Amino acid sequence: MSLKNPRHATVVVRARAKRLKELAAADVFVGATLVRLMNKCGRKGCHCATGEGHPTYYLKSSRKGKMITRYVSKDRLDEVRAWIREYKRVKRLVGEITDLTLELMAAEAKARRKEKLRQRRR
């Protein structure tokens, strides 16, 4: 989107409304990173004592300057991955809505300038 040559305001308003509707339909999301760590369980006969360990998963996120870590059980991995994908979709939509709002402001300013020019010519 070029702010120097914005599209007509009604086109931008329709595009923004579409994204706002998509945003309103957002499901559960989480702005965090899924981290996989390899841990050793400590049992003497386990393969992890000599191998690379057992995979464990955590969600990590920074909030108010503090790192928050939450354990994710294997049975919730798919659900948590879906939350992260939804967060990325919502973040993309918010960016697009922001761009469209800025473009709308530019289109409205351009229309006001044109109207002032028309009034001066009369």
2: in domain: no
- The per-residue pLDDT for 5 is 61
121: in domain: no
The residue segments making up the domain with residue 33 are 9-115
Q: What is the tens place of the pLDDT at every residue in 38-79?
A: 998 888 888 888 888 899 999 999 999 999 999 999 999 999
Q: What is the tens place of the pLDDT at every residue in 84-100?
A: 999 999 999 999 999 99
CB 13 within 8 A of CB 101: no
- Tell me which of 100 and 7 has the higher pLDDT: 100
The Cα–Cα gap between 106 and 3 comes to 6
1: in domain: no
4: in domain: no
Report residue 3's pLDDT band, with 50, 70 and 90 as the boundaries: very low
Count the residues in the chain: 122
122: in domain: no
96: in domain: yes
Total domains, the chain? 1
CB 29 within 8 A of CB 86: yes
